[in-house]
Amino acid sequence: MSSVKQKVLIVDDEPDIRELIEYNLKKEGYQVFTAGNGQEGVSEAKKVKPDLIILDIMMPKMDGIEACRLLRTMGDFKNTFMVFLTARSEEYSEIAGFNVGADDYIAKPIKPRALVSRINAILRRNNQADEVVENKLEILDLVIDRETYLVYRGSDKIVLAKKEFELLYLLASKPGKVFTREVILKNIWEDSVVVTNRTIDVHIRKLREKLGDSYVSTVKGVGYKFEA
């Protein structure tokens, strides 16, 4: 981990959950901040500018979905990692989270060692990203800029959620190559996060909504590819 302590904000209305996560993350050397509901979480995020935010979904005053949606509209948090924490197992909760820009999804009950490993992996992957990939792709009429996590089409700037950007970058890095769902999951979500095929479909749909339908095509029963 970097000598500069990375900041994690925990937003959960259950004090024992906050304390459990805070204790384990502080042992890892993180700066940890907490909030008891979505409204407090948004206010605290504005103050401390965390590197990663852990959001419970079911909270009073403002739930995690709405807090994430609101934060993603602010420039300071367009690329901040957002991890949802929830006891709800319904698929629609997971899909709703990814729809508003979540990067990961962790189910309760919390397993401290597994959660810490997940957080370490997410932030380490972000720190190393510029070292292992090119900073910019120019393909067709798109410029995909890894340093800013922005996509440009001519003079138009297209803002994507972090996972949407990473998915587009992966596909565009090898135009014409078909990426299976398994390869996409391994490269974008790794083995540590439980996601479904539906999750990939949601991210593809969001990409098409923002970019248009002509860039990413579906190879039925196999996966997806970027059309060169």
Please, which residues bridge with residue 180 across strands? 223
> Is-same-fold flag (7-128; 133-226)?
no
Q: Which CATH number fits domain 133-226: 1.10.10.10, 3.10.310.30, 3.40.640.10, 2.60.98.20?
A: 1.10.10.10
User: What rounded mean pLDDT belongs to the chain?
Assistant: 84
Cα separation values, 143 from 83, 111, 148, 226, Å: 28, 40, 11, 14
Cα separation values, 217 from 30, 31, 138, 177, 207, Å: 41, 42, 19, 11, 11
Report whether pLDDT(94) > 80: no
Spatial separation of the C-alpha atoms in residues 81 and 34, rounded to whole Å: 16
Superfamily assignment of 7-128 in CATH? Response regulator (3.40.50.2300)
Tokens of 28: 């890892």
Helix or strand or coil: residue 183? helix
Q: Give the tens place of pLDDT for each residue, 130-150.
A: 444 457 888 889 999 988 888
Say if pTM beats, i.e. exceeds, 0.75. no
Helix or strand or coil: residue 57? coil
Please, which residues bridge with residue 122 across strands? none
Residue 153: the pLDDT is 92
Least confident of 52-61, 93-102, 180-189: 93-102
Q: Where are the domains of the chain?
A: 7-128, 133-226
Q: Give the tens place of pLDDT for each residue, 190-214.
A: 755 566 677 888 899 999 999 999 9
With contact defined as beta carbons under 8 Å apart, do 8 and 54 qualify?
Answer: yes
- Measure CA of the first residue to CA of the last residue in the chain; give whole Å: 38
